[in-house]
Amino acid sequence: MEFAYLGPRGTFTEAALRRLPAAKTATAAPMSSIFEVLDAVRRGEVDAGFVPIENSQEGTVTITVDELVGGDPLVIVGEVVLPVTFVLASEKPVAEITTVASMPVALAQVRKYLRRELPNAVVHQALSTAQAAQRAADGEFDAAVCPPFAAEAVGLPVQAFDIGDNPNAATRFVHVVRPTAPPEPTGNDITSLVVYIDYDRVGALLGVLTEFAIRGINLTRIESRPTGEGLGRYAFFLDCTGHLADARMGEALMGLRRICDDVRYLGSYPRDHSDAPVPPPAGLSDADFADAAAWLDRLRGTGA
């Protein structure tokens, strides 16, 4: 089995991929953009792709979502949530550092640390944390802000660990494949969707959420985006608790199919970092749905 992932080697994506059970015995090819990863999956050059989809600093990785929504269908069959940690990598002790480099997003995440510990250092921008580490190792700058494995890769000592301002920072990655039936339900799954509705009708979004709420399905993520097809038409990216195979999820999806302009299914897959399976609310188990269906059949057949 072969994975393509967003490279280069030595980034958070590769670190996350190592945690994916399905990738344990797979070969993994770094590619230079999310587009290339997903195209390689679509064309069948690899079996699976692995790309970031959301991070706590920048929110949704729009390129990933847009690629999943447009073009030939792909489905998500797994996720990895990786804590994001930064180090200050340098040959010099902190007190002697006068220049520091990193990519803008990483600098934004250590802003408070730099202001407090290196208030007089000159800050330089680099294209990636790996590049910053390399340039610091080459002596172009005194220090780099980068993940631990990037410092290790270039042989730079770490002067300070966990310097990120947000101790809960994390990035979420997804394992995508060509369309296929979802993995077996685990009792703690996510289903990802994109729905298209017309905002000019008051309450269209309320209608979508009602389909979930009456069936005890929670949303763990929602994000609207204009579709670019004219005023008032919106797409919503939704992550819902539950699995495509659940009776209640099935009925909710059928409801969306009927009331939305369009629905695109992006996959059902186990939650990473999930605790014990969450039982469905009272009256909403598969057995409850089966009981109700049998009752309806009896009514239609015999009236009692």
Calpha distance 246→280 (Å, rounded):
10
Minimum separation from the CB atom of position 157 to a copy of itself (A): 27
Comparing CB distances to a copy of itself, the nearer of 2 and 262 is 262
User: How many positions of this chain bind a copy of itself (CB under 8 A)?
Assistant: 79
Comparing CB distances to a copy of itself, the nearer of 159 and 267 is 267
Calpha distance 275→60 (Å, rounded):
24
Minimum separation from the CB atom of position 228 to a copy of itself (A): 4
Binder of a copy of itself out of 42, 135, 225, 233 (CB under 8 A): 225
Minimum separation from the CB atom of position 220 to a copy of itself (A): 7
Calpha distance 296→142 (Å, rounded):
73
Minimum separation from the CB atom of position 192 to a copy of itself (A): 12
Calpha distance 111→298 (Å, rounded):
66
Comparing CB distances to a copy of itself, the nearer of 139 and 167 is 167
DSSP β-bridge partners for residue 193:
238, 265
Q: Can residue 293 be called a binding residue for a copy of itself (CB under 8 A)?
A: yes
Q: How many CB atoms lie within 10 A of CB 252?
A: 24
CA distances from 304 to 171, 177, 263, 272, 298 (A): 54, 47, 37, 46, 6
Instruction: Scan residues 11-50 and list those touching a copy of itself (CB under 8 A).
Output: 33, 35
- Phi, psi at residue 235, to the nearest 5°? -110, 145
Instruction: Scan residues 47-66 and list those touching a copy of itself (CB under 8 A).
Output: 56-60, 62-63
Q: Can residue 304 be called a binding residue for a copy of itself (CB under 8 A)?
A: yes
- Phi, psi at residue 171, to the nearest 5°? -125, 145
Instruction: Scan residues 259-288 and list those touching a copy of itself (CB under 8 A).
Output: 259, 265, 267, 281, 283-284, 288
Minimum separation from the CB atom of position 26 to a copy of itself (A): 20
Reading the block at residue 137, the tokens are: 């190792």
Minimum separation from the CB atom of position 301 to a copy of itself (A): 6
Comparing CB distances to a copy of itself, the nearer of 103 and 159 is 103
Instruction: Scan residues 97-156 and list those touching a copy of itself (CB under 8 A).
Output: 104, 108, 111, 125, 127
Residue count of the chain, please give it: 304
Which residues, in sequence order, are CB contacts of 80 under 8 Å at separation 6+? Answer: 16, 17, 19, 20, 172, 173, 175, 272
Comparing CB distances to a copy of itself, the nearer of 148 and 216 is 216
Which residues, in sequence order, are CB contacts of 257 under 8 Å at separation 6+? Answer: 263
Residue written as token pair 């220049």: 99
Comparing CB distances to a copy of itself, the nearer of 140 and 288 is 288
Binder of a copy of itself out of 194, 236, 269, 270 (CB under 8 A): 236
Minimum separation from the CB atom of position 241 to a copy of itself (A): 9
Instruction: Scan residues 146-205 and list those touching a copy of itself (CB under 8 A).
Output: 166-169, 179-182, 199-200, 202-203, 205
Helix axes 247-259, 204-213, angle to 10 degrees: 170
Q: Can residue 209 be called a binding residue for a copy of itself (CB under 8 A)?
A: yes
